Structure 1
Amino acid sequence: MPGAKPGDATNTEDRSCTYEGSVLVDSYPPQPHGEGRIDWDNGVHYIGEWNNGKFHGQGKKIYTNGGGYEGSWFKGLRQGKGSALYGGKWGHDRWEGNFVDDKEEGEGVMYFMDGTQVPHVYEKGELAGEPPCNFEYEKSVFFRRLNRGTEDETIQNLLEQFGPLDYCYIARDKDGNSTRIGRAKFKSVGASSDEELERNEWILVARQRAVDNAKAAVEGLDKMEVEGSEIRVGLARKADMKEYLRYGDY
């Protein structure tokens, strides 16, 4: 069933697909109606409720990179309470909040892969205020110029020589293709020598250890050849909203 509209079973993704579930038998061709699942040949799928061929009610649409949306739909558009799913991109797991006309709107909570929860406000689908990638950016590194075939695990193994990670990912487009850039954050960890420290002191020492690990990784890995490409590794820095919305990986 080829086509273009993102919320329509017969016109989605411009690709062929298969559907299993209930249909509206009075229509021709029969339209998904009720509960059902659709799978496109590029790996994208939707599971949930339908009305006359459109996502309507509660449902989940997932892309090949793990991102997507889960929550309330209205006539093919994200509407009401839901979660924007990031699949680890930018170190985020999901944003939970309200959606209006297919866009994030208002106050919500950003959940990071390490379990951290930070309030974030959207205005018509764009973040307002401080970019979430600035959260503990001092412990993070940004890498680029990767071979397109390089996987997350390869970079993760290189970085873990310098210390444990909260996350490591290579950014990918909606079809799952590498964009040759990525981001990783080092974990704040204690050592046996920290046992007699007060909690506040322990937190500061563990945080500084993660910052130092990030600096060491840059010194050790920048301009290293990995799978045929000379990669660049640098310390993450604060980004303004324009940069964040364009690149996402600072």
Structure 2
Amino acid sequence: MRLTRKTAIVTGGGSGFGAGIVRKFAAEGARVIVADINVAAAQEVCEQIGDTAIACMVDVADAASVNHMAQTALDTWGQVDILVNNAGITHLPTALEDVTEDEFDRVFAVNAKSVYLTARALVPHMKSRATGAILNIASTAGVSPRPRLNWYNASKGWMITATQAMAVELAPNGVRVNALNPVAGDTPLLKSFMGEDTPEIRAKFLSTIPLGRFSTPQDMGNAACFLCSDEASMITGVAMEVDGGRCI
């Protein structure tokens, strides 16, 4: 029970890696706000967990929506110990010059601006308590980019740099900031990364991962739990790869 008496917000918590993180946090004793733009998916996850998880609809690219999420957590639990910025999207595999401006704007709004908005909403609260853990879900794409996912790669590289900058600035306030870099997982985003989901394309992706499998929600939950627990109290500013050796 490494997260007993801790409260957490997990964005994009209704499916994929986010749901895996929510389930692990709850199993380790945390109370969790499951925040997702698909509130029905968030509610389904909460029903599986019980009354220590509460669903909240959020558009992480919208300031008013993020502020409402933060206030819901504070009104419900009285404090926020952990923030996981997991919600993310990609554009389809496309030549970099052919990605539309609307697609570019949406990728950076969800993957980058959201980190700014959640920080603006919750960092003052964490500073006031001189404690807190923020975890940004970046990607191996931010370290070892794949072709034709150029602007997605760039957004995740931004997230890694933001993590390090936040960690340095917030360390004197007792707030730790880390990131996870998963390789592609068998989640709703996988088809978007691949363009189409066929056995041949899956085999091509898997051939780049030395351990020979995709990241799972359970892998992400385990790594997230460690970095957000007191066991990692001396760790800040890292971007931990959960990638089966992809970035070697």
TM-score category (smaller protein): under 0.3
Question: Which structure carries more strand by proportion?
Answer: 1
Q: Which has the larger radius of gyration?
A: 1
TM-score by length of 1: 0.24
Relative contact order, higher structure (CA 8 A, sep 6+)? 2
Higher-helix-fraction structure:
2
